[in-house]
A and B are shown apart, each in its own frame.
Chain A
């Protein structure tokens, strides 16, 4: 491009053209002698460096290069001057105001027809903005890498398993804790491999739940047992949350499994304690009820012995009073059966049974209890009305315990009406679905009712308003219903009398 050596005061139009052209370039243009001394600088170079051409001649520009890059620059330039190789380097050059800016500097020798270097032509392009951008990018990348590392460290140290799955549910990532716990290898666990560690009893329900979540795109959680490397199972709460795009489509699932073994064990021992407690409560109530139990049994026993004595006397008479004896024997049998019924009833009530929850048809349970008590109810002159709603959702409950409660309520109602004399003794047992999706059972009587101030006290242990009879502990009944997640209360029945009601939550909820 430059055919003749430009010099300071040249009037050669070619030289003038070159200068105009070089000055118009958005870069510093420098020409150097074959031995590497500056002999020309365009206006940008002059303006940037704040030094006139004269001030830049020779090797003076070297001191403008940043000290960090200067030794390399000198070495490279010395090499190029010696060999004629092209010069190319990035270094910082000090601006007039002292600020260093990055330049991409390229130098190329201009040779004559014989191939001898006539001069060097340099183009210094300011790349400081790009460098800054690169530096920022590098810094951002470094920070990103660091935070990724921190995140990974965090994920690996979270006290639980952290995982990520594709929208179809196949697992793409599991944190280190998973592998520590299961002893699995990465390849084994990915996809659906991890499911081999679910307890056999939990596999189907968890699978069904997971597929329902995948279909709905809703977050959810499930409790299941997972097998560890030691072949033992521990309970985990498995939580899954979808990451959605703007259209609400699942991009990815994120999940965390928390070890809840200790909580589960506590719950189990709590259930055991509760079962023990219920039994203790029943036994304690048994203690307080001994008097009424004795009363209940002693009445027929008194009848039996008295009738037997009478019978003996009638048979020993001359002549024997056979009709009288027959009547006393009939009464003896009747009273014997009555005593036997009391014992049977007690055995059913106070037998220690572990709570065994099962889906329970409350209507069926109620009908069975009423059948069991029909003789007793007849004897007491109680007219029973059943109002059982159909259909009712099954409730998750212990059949024996719930039937004990129903039995208690029926006996209490019967007892409450014992003083009515000739007035009608009406007992109404009703069932219905309750608002929360469970069931409600109520027993209403036509007795004197419960005084408002007694409405809570009657549920306390050792409290009885009765003088005689089987005051079966309402406190025990309440503790049974409580343990099922239900409620037991008393209110005034329509037309007077008391109405005891209890609720039981619906079948899906395990107590």
Chain B
């Protein structure tokens, strides 16, 4: 793993914004956390983000809408969706649209690592 890789987290839930970056940092990533899609799109980290972990249901722009917006702007970073609503119904559609994975909260460390490995195979 390379410390310079930036993983961004976009989730409106504060406990996820606190806990997930700490774990990702333990994995060795650099992390930036945002509470909304708009904050992320407006941030300086957007261009440096190598992988985006994003919540599906958020006030304002939702996770899938953020994906569309990034595609429209030609960003191609891999996307890992996380959701507290259970992923069964959303997962096939999101994978078909190019998402790397869709994890149901609460997810295990192993699930997270598997998704990150799929997203960043060279790491």
Q: Do A and B originate from a single complex?
A: yes
Interface of A toward B, CB cutoff 8 Å: 291, 294-296, 298-307, 309-310, 313-314, 324, 327-328, 331, 334-335, 338, 418-419, 467-468
Q: What chain B residues lie within 8 Å of A419 (beta carbons)?
A: 59-60
**8 Å CB contacts to A: which residues of B1-51?**
13, 15-16, 18-20, 22-23, 26
B85 at the interface (CB under 8 A from A): yes
Q: Are A331 and B85 in contact (CB under 8 A)?
A: no
Q: Are A298 and B84 in contact (CB under 8 A)?
A: yes
Task: Report the minimum CB–CB distance from A308 to chain B (whole Å).
Answer: 9
A302-B106, A305-B108, A324-B22 known; A295 and B57 CB under 8 Å?
A: yes
Q: What chain B residues lie within 8 Å of A331 (beta carbons)?
A: 15, 18-19
Task: Report the minimum CB–CB distance from A418 to chain B (whole Å).
Answer: 7
Rounded to whole angstroms, the CA-CA distance of A468 and B85 in the bound complex is 9
Rounded to whole angstroms, the CA-CA distance of A214 and B85 in the bound complex is 67
Q: Are B19 and A328 in contact (CB under 8 A)?
A: yes
Q: What chain B residues lie within 8 Å of A328 (beta carbons)?
A: 19, 22
Which applies to chain A's interface (DSSP): helix, strand, loop or mixed? helix
Q: What chain A residues lie within 8 Å of B19 (beta carbons)?
A: 302-303, 306-307, 310, 328, 331, 335
Chain A: which residue is nearest B105 at the CB level?
A: A302
B107 at the interface (CB under 8 A from A): yes
Task: Report the minimum CB–CB distance from B33 to chain A (whole Å).
Answer: 12
Interface of B toward A, CB cutoff 8 Å: 13, 15-16, 18-20, 22-23, 26, 57-60, 62, 82, 84-86, 104-109
Q: Are B26 and A314 in contact (CB under 8 A)?
A: yes
Q: What chain B residues lie within 8 Å of A298 (beta carbons)?
A: 84-86, 104-106
Chain A: which residue is nearest B111 at the CB level?
A: A305
Chain B: which residue is nearest A469 at the CB level?
A: B57
Chain B: which residue is nearest A296 at the CB level?
A: B84
Q: Are B62 and A467 in contact (CB under 8 A)?
A: yes
Q: What chain B residues lie within 8 Å of A301 (beta carbons)?
A: 105-106
Task: Report the minimum CB–CB distance from A449 to chain B (whole Å).
Answer: 16
A298-B84, A299-B15 known; A306 and B57 CB under 8 Å?
A: no
Given A303-B18, A331-B19; 4 other pairs, CB 8 A cutoff: A295-B57, A303-B16, A303-B19, A331-B18
Q: Are A295 and B16 in contact (CB under 8 A)?
A: no
Task: Report the minimum CB–CB distance from A286 to chain B (whole Å).
Answer: 16
Chain B: which residue is nearest A418 at the CB level?
A: B59
Task: Report the minimum CB–CB distance from B2 to chain A (whole Å).
Answer: 18
Q: What chain B residues lie within 8 Å of A418 (beta carbons)?
A: 59
Q: What chain A residues lie within 8 Å of B84 (beta carbons)?
A: 294-296, 298-299, 302, 468
Q: Are A306 and B82 in contact (CB under 8 A)?
A: no
Task: Report the minimum CB–CB distance from B97 to chain A (whole Å).
Answer: 19
Q: Are B20 and A306 in contact (CB under 8 A)?
A: yes
Q: List 21 A-B contacts (CB under 8 A).
A: A294-B86, A298-B104, A298-B105, A298-B106, A299-B13, A300-B15, A301-B106, A302-B106, A302-B107, A303-B15, A306-B20, A306-B22, A307-B22, A309-B23, A309-B26, A310-B23, A324-B22, A328-B19, A328-B22, A331-B15, A468-B57
A299-B84, A304-B106 known; A310 and B22 CB under 8 Å?
A: yes
Q: What chain B residues lie within 8 Å of A338 (beta carbons)?
A: 15
A305, A314, A418 interface centre (most CB from chain B within 10 Å): A305
Chain A: which residue is nearest B27 at the CB level?
A: A313
Q: What chain A residues lie within 8 Å of B108 (beta carbons)?
A: 305, 309
A295-B85, A419-B59 known; A302 and B15 CB under 8 Å?
A: yes
Q: Are B106 and A309 in contact (CB under 8 A)?
A: no
Rounded to whole angstroms, the CA-CA distance of A309 and B27 in the bound complex is 11
Task: Report the minimum CB–CB distance from B12 to chain A (whole Å).
Answer: 8
B15, B57, B82 interface centre (most CB from chain A within 10 Å): B15
